[in-house]
Chain A
Amino acid sequence: MNSIIRGTGRLLPEEINTDVHCSAKYTPGKDTAYIAQHAFERIAPDFVSSFRPGNIIVAGRNFGINSSREQAVHAMRLLGVAAVVSPAFGRQFFRNAINNGLPVVECDIAGIEEGDVVQVDLSAGTVSVPARGIECAFAPLPSAIQALLASGGLIPFLQAHPDWRLQ
């Protein structure tokens, strides 16, 4: 995976919990495609219909809090989310994202607007909107996490490295 991700920023508010990600909570038999089609509908009904693969989600703080629901990340992968930037993530959402090869970056999002072309540099640790001169630094993800992301997630990583050699 290239360490630089560039895509159209799609804004979501703060405190988006996993009930909002996937409202099919505790409904066995509902597949990821169904969950993806209904993602965020409670707070942004048109979000999914206007979302394009490669878009970057720029969310307010505490994105993905609450119950550990890996389907929330599977749905976002299915939608083609290129990366998520937020000042703070729910712990288990952050973990699930890494495990499923979805880059998540903890960074200030002040000034970023809907539709801005956002650039995330995972190695350098910057989130920027070059067209408007916005640039925020974040502590780069530990190399082990970058290795997992580069493999596309934990399952492809373990298929290639069953001995867990992270570097």
Chain B
Amino acid sequence: MGYTLAEKILGAHAGSPAKAGEVVVARVDFAMIHDARAANALTQLGKLGAKELPYAHRTALVLDHYSPPPNPEAANMHVAMRQFSEERGAVLYDVGDGICHQVLPEGGHLTCGDLVVGTDTHSTTYGAFNAFGTGVEGTDVSAVMMTGRLWFRVPETIRIELTGRLQPGVWAKDVTLTMLGRLGAEGANYKALEYCGEAVAAMNIDDRMTLSNHAAELGAKAALLEADEKTFEWLKAHRAREPRPVKADADATYAERIVIDAAALAPQVARAHQIDDVAGVPDVAGKKIHIALIGTCTNGRLDDLRQAAAILKGRRLAKGVRMIVTPASRQVYLAALREGIVEALTAAGASVEAAGCGTCVNITGHLVPGDDQVVISSANRNFKGRLGNPRSEIWIGSAATVAASALAGCITDPREVAGGTWRAAA
């Protein structure tokens, strides 16, 4: 019997073949701690009492959630993180550098075939690079910094094939929302996902990262893609280590196989207040919105900003609509500046903010809605009150859907807005 991507990567790092359901102790290539979990991680590390942390240099500390810190406690935590990094040799990404899941790949810290852990549910993002990325907690990263290893239960895998190509105006976000409507939130709890098929091959790296990232809302432990020339080129450009690409065996055992006709998908939205309450944009078009957000680890990358600029350039947001754009990283911000995207969005009426992810969970308080206001957001979660007001609604869609809706003042199909068909050359 063959092996899945998850089984192959975990087995290679454990030093012996691994099958779903087994528990292995595996070498970890890179670890990440962000500022919302650092207090716990440093506390656990203190309990462990390790004198030496031989693997601290393969760990990044990222100051992205409390970015910028809204109170002295958060600012003090940042001071402690900078100090830890300095003393122990951990990599530091400071306030404004970007969101953990963006800066790790951009910094060349991971490559194909790697095993990467992070103190965040969306650590599944690294699967876009054919790496097993998964979310853990403070105790886990403490163990990794001390021993370079960690225990894992090898997950069963659901293989999702996307046949055909996505239509212009339809993105990875819409694929994930479709899956959420089908499987339900946590519908892939404990399991790994493998995405494959023509639509995945046609996606650029930014969109693939959305696919792997957003799998967290499905409860997935990891969301893996196979690597291709686009992957290798991207990793090389970001000075990653030599890729060790892994392919799934044709006779691998899957918990489930799902085939989605990608070419038939329309843009999707998740209605307030559940991420798996999904509708096609054409079915809910016209719903009035007041606030628009493009950003977060799910959809704040350069291609998302390009989608928004293609729709909003030379135009104005609908009267009464407020829009915030938060690039996923400083690199994304700089690229958007060079391409004129920041200018186009600012001229259209949006406020472009420094890179970070504090807006997504209302840590910065920059996007608190009023009562009965409706937010359309490219984020990943829409729990009631997540943006600071339980009397508001959060709807979730692609950056293109958010931009088209901000332009019209109501939920709008980006395919109906000229310019909304922007797509990177394959």
**Chain A residues packing against B (C-beta within 8 Å):** 19, 26, 28-29, 62, 65, 67-71, 88, 90-92, 94-96, 99-100, 142, 144-145, 148, 153-155, 158-159, 162, 164, 166
Contacts and interface: CB of A to CB of B under 8 A. Distances in A.
Binding site secondary structure of chain B: mixed
B33 to A, nearest CB: 12
Interface stretch (B101-109, B138-146, B282-290, B402-410): B138-146
Interface string B362-387: 01000000000000000000010000
A159 B49 contact: yes
Given A68-B135, A155-B143, 12 more contacts: A26-B65, A28-B71, A28-B73, A28-B74, A62-B189, A68-B37, A70-B139, A92-B135, A94-B190, A95-B140, A154-B151, A158-B147
A65 B219 contact: yes
B139 A68 contact: no
A94 to B, nearest CB: 8
Interface in B107-148: 119-121, 135-140, 142-143, 146-147
Contacts of B221: 91
A10 to B, nearest CB: 23
B238 interface: no
Interface stretch (B40-48, B226-234, B249-257): B40-48
B416 interface: no
B140 to A, nearest CB: 7
Contacts, number: 91
A155 B186 contact: no
B235 to A, nearest CB: 27
A38 to B, nearest CB: 17
A65 B186 contact: yes
Contacts of A88: 189
B143 A158 contact: yes
B186 A62 contact: yes
A68 B186 contact: no
A63 to B, nearest CB: 11
Contact of A164 (B25, B120, B121, B136): B25
A36 B215 CA distance: 31
B153 interface: yes
A68 B120 contact: yes
CB-CB nearest 9 A-B residue pairs: A28-B73, A70-B137, A144-B23, A142-B23, A99-B139, A29-B73, A164-B25, A91-B190, A154-B139
A155 B363 contact: no
A154 B143 contact: yes
B47 A96 contact: no
A142 to B, nearest CB: 4
22 contacts: A29-B73, A62-B189, A65-B189, A68-B37, A68-B119, A68-B137, A69-B137, A70-B40, A70-B137, A71-B40, A88-B189, A95-B140, A96-B137, A142-B22, A144-B23, A144-B25, A144-B151, A145-B23, A155-B47, A155-B139, A158-B146, A164-B147
B48 A142 contact: no
Given A26-B36, A68-B121, A92-B135, A154 B140 contact: yes
B48 A159 contact: yes
Given A90-B186, A145-B23, A164 B363 contact: no
